[in-house]
Amino acid sequence: MNIFSPGHTCKNSKARCGVMHLPHGDVRTPVFMPVGTNGAVKAVSKDDIEEMGFEIILANTYHLFLRPGADLVQEAGGLHGFTKYNGNFLTDSGGFQVFSLSKLRKITPEGARFQSHIDGSYHLFTPENVVQTQVKFNSDIQMQLDVCSGFGVDRKEAVSALEITTDWANRAMKEWQKEREAGYKGYLFPIVQGNFFEDLRRQSAEFVAGLDSAGIAIGGLSVGEPTDEFVHFMNYTNQFLPEEKVKYVMGIGTPEYILEAVAAGIDMFDCVLPTRNARNGSYFTHDGMLSIKQERFTHDFSPLDRECNCKVCRTYSRAYLRHLFKEQEILSSMLASYHNLYFLNNMMKEIRASIENDTFETYKKSFLDRFRAGNIQ
C-alpha cells in the first residue's frame, strides 16, 4: 500500500521531500503537524490553521474518547464534520497518554485498562476498539495502540513492552483491514518501539516494515533521553525502514529536533511545544527563543521578529505583546500561538525548498548557528 509520492532527495543528506495522498487532500512533506488534542489547536481557530497553510493536524484518541465521546463525533460527521476543519486529521492512539497515567492504568496482553483523569471511571483500550474509535472519528491517519516505555527502563521491561506492541500491531492491522473492507478510507500506521536497545529497535523496525501499511511511526523517542541518544536511535531505527513508506517521528517540535529528523529522512513530526511555549510567553524567532516577559521589552515598539511575515509580526509590537502577557489577556495566547505555528510552518517551507535546491545541509547549519546564538536585539 502506497500513499507517498517521493520527490527530490538532497544529494548531500537523506533529507527528502514528497507528497502524501490522503482522503482530505495532499500533504507536502516534510511536514510539522500542530497538535489539536481535543479537536482544537489551543488558542488557534481552524480558520487560522487554514490561513497559515497547514494541511494536516493531530488530534488525540484518549481525550476525545473521554470527551465528547466517539459516538457523538461520529454523529457529527467525524472530526471534519464536528470541527469544520477541511484538512486532514491524524489521530494518536492514546497509548502515550495511557503510558503517562502510570498510577491509573494496567497493561495486559488484552489491552490497557485505565482510569479516566476526569472522573475516575474505568475503561479498556484494546488494539481493536482503538481502531474502531478512530474509524468513528474518520481519521485520515490513525495510529495503532502501543506500549511506550520511558528512557532508563531495564531490558526486561523494554522486551515486554515490545512483545505486547508487536502483538497489538498485528491485531490492529486485522481490525483496520475489516474497516477498510466496510468502506473506511483512512490509513493505519504501526509504531516501532524497542526502547534504547539497538537489537530490540532493529527487531521492531524489521517487523513493522513487513506490514502492509502506508506509513510507519518511530515511537519511544523524545521521552526524556539526551539529545545525542535521540539522534542516534532515530537514525539507527530509520535504516531498517523502507524508503517507499512515509516515516513519522512522534513528539518533536523544536527547530533543532525537526532539522535532525529531516536530515535523517523523516517526513512527519508533531508536538505541543509551539503552543505550550506560546501560552508561557515564549516566542520562536530567527535569533532564538524570545521571552516576552522580560523587562527590556517594556518600551520596545519594534516587531517581534523583523524577518517574520506573519500578521502578529506585521501588526503588533513587543511592548504590546508583553503588556498582553503581563495582564494575562487571552489574546496573548492567541497571538503567540499563531506566531509560533506560522514560524514553524514557514521553516518547513524553507526546508522543502532547500531540499529541492540541494542546499539543505547549508540551510540547517546557518539556521541553527543563528538560532542557537540567541542574539535577540
Look at residues 46, 27, 81, 43 and name the one whose alpha carbon lies nearest to residue 269: 27
Contact 342, 52 (CB under 8 A): yes
Per-residue burial over 349-374, b = 16 or more CB atoms within 10 Å of its CB, e = otherwise: eebbebbeeeebbebbeebeeebeee
Q: What cell does 221 get?
A: 523517542
Q: Is 85 exposed, middle or buried (0-12, 13-18, 19+ CB in 10 A)?
A: buried
Q: What is the CA radius of gyration of the chain?
A: 21
Average pLDDT over residues 139-154: 95
What is the number of other CB atoms lying within 10 angstroms of the CB of residue 208? 27
Does the pLDDT of residue 101 top 80, yes or no?
no
Contact predicate 167/175, CB 8 Å: no
Decide if 43 contacts 30 (C-beta within 8 A).
no
Residue 200's SS3 state is helix
DSSP string, 149-180: --TT--HHHHHHHHHHHHHHHHHHHHHHHHHH
pLDDT, residue 98, reads 72
Average of per-residue pLDDT across 245-266 = 97
What DSSP string runs through 313-343? HHH-BHHHHHHHHHTT-HHHHHHHHHHHHHH
Neighbours of 179 (CB within 10 A): 17
Q: Are 263 and 28 in contact (CB under 8 A)?
A: no
CA distance 126 to 123: 10
Q: pLDDT (tens digit, 9 = 90+) per residue, 106-116? A: 899 999 999 89
Catalytic residues: 92, 270
**Is the CB of residue 59 less than 8 Å from the CB of residue 37?**
yes
% residues pLDDT > 70 (the chain): 99
Which cell numbers in the block locate residue 183?
468502506
* 8 Å CB contact between 15 and 360: yes
Q: Taking Cα atoms as reference points, which of 56, 62, 102 lies closest to residue 80? A: 56
d(CA 149, CA 290): 33
Q: Of 292, 329, 337, which Cα lies nearest the Cα of 310?
A: 337
**Where in 219-267 does DSSP place strands (E)?**
246-249
Q: How far is CA 302 from CA 28, 187, 232, 294, 310, in A?
A: 34, 46, 41, 15, 14
- pLDDT band (50, 70, 90) for residue 97: confident
Which pLDDT does position 185 carry in this prediction? 98
CA 346/CA 196 separation, integer angstroms: 33
Question: Each residue of 40-94: pLDDT tens digit?
Answer: 999 999 999 999 999 999 999 999 999 999 999 999 999 999 999 999 999 999 8
DSSP state of 293: T
Q: What's the pLDDT at 358?
A: 97
Unique residue bearing C-alpha cell 495503532: 144
User: What is the model's pLDDT at position 345?
Assistant: 98
What is the number of other CB atoms lying within 10 angstroms of the CB of residue 141?
A: 28
Phi then psi dihedrals of residue 223, to 5 deg:
-120, 30
Helix then strand then coil, in percent of the chain rounded to 5, is 45, 20, 35
pLDDT value of position 102? 67
User: Residue 360 — φ and ψ, nearest 5°?
Assistant: -60, -45
DSSP letter at 214? S
In the DSSP assignment, the letter for residue 299 is T
Q: Which three cell numbers stand for residue 199?
A: 537489537
- Average pLDDT of the residues of the chain: 96
Residue 315 burial class via C-beta count within 10 angstroms: exposed 0-12, middle 13-18, buried 19 and up: exposed
Q: Please report how many Cα atoms fall inside a 13 Å half-sphere around the Cα of residue 254, on the Cβ side.
A: 12
